[in-house]
Amino acid sequence: MLIGDRLNDAINEQIQSEFFASAQYIAIAVWFDGEALPVLAKYFYRQSEEEREHAMKFVHYLVETGGKVIIPGLPEPTNAFDSAAACVELSLTQEVKVTNQINTLMDIAKEENDHLAQHFLQWFVEEQLEEVASMDALLKTIKRAGEGGLLHVEQYLSRNAALGLGEEGEAGE
């Protein structure tokens, strides 16, 4: 086994966090769909896919290192929102929480002198900077536009790759 028990357990907790984030982003996407805001909905559907991909990276890492994978049950995500800003505020809070969790995983890997894990986790460290920055920018954009200006936000997002959308308005990498 190439992974210690403490890091293995912490990564299993991270798997739950990533799958939960995926479910939460679907709930947010559905809310935007219900509000007839398809670009914002696509953005959050794509965010959900990315979080699932993150969870699966952790799953595969544990398998490859001989660790024990535990596929978790999930708490129920928030499904009701008062505003677009509330959706994105929740998302930003979630991304900051995940960033702190990734930092904790890196701390454990360093304490255990686990160079493989440190190398693996570095991608997530960098990814979280992008995730927090894009969610923060989206929140600022929505607040600036106000709830009455969400169609302008939709137009802006479909043109702005910096917020994670490609040129055709599809969610991108």
| CATH code, domain with 94 | 1.20.1260.10
Start-to-end CA distance of the chain, whole Å, equals: 33
In-domain check, residue 134: yes
Query: Could you read off the pLDDT of 79-97 as tens digits, one per residue?
Result: 999 999 999 999 999 999 9
Domain limits for position 96: 5-163
The residue behind tokens 């800003």 is 85
Residues 142 and 150: their CA atoms lie apart, in Å, by 7
pLDDT for residue 159? 87
pLDDT for residue 163? 55
pLDDT for residue 160? 80
Query: Could you read off the pLDDT of 48-77 as tens digits, one per residue?
Result: 999 999 999 999 999 999 999 999 999 999
Low-confidence ranges of the chain (pLDDT < 70): 161-173
In-domain check, residue 172: no
pLDDT for residue 65? 98
Number of domains the chain contains? 1
pLDDT for residue 164? 57
In-domain check, residue 169: no
In-domain check, residue 170: no
Report the predicted TM-score, pTM, of the whole model to 2 decimal places: 0.92
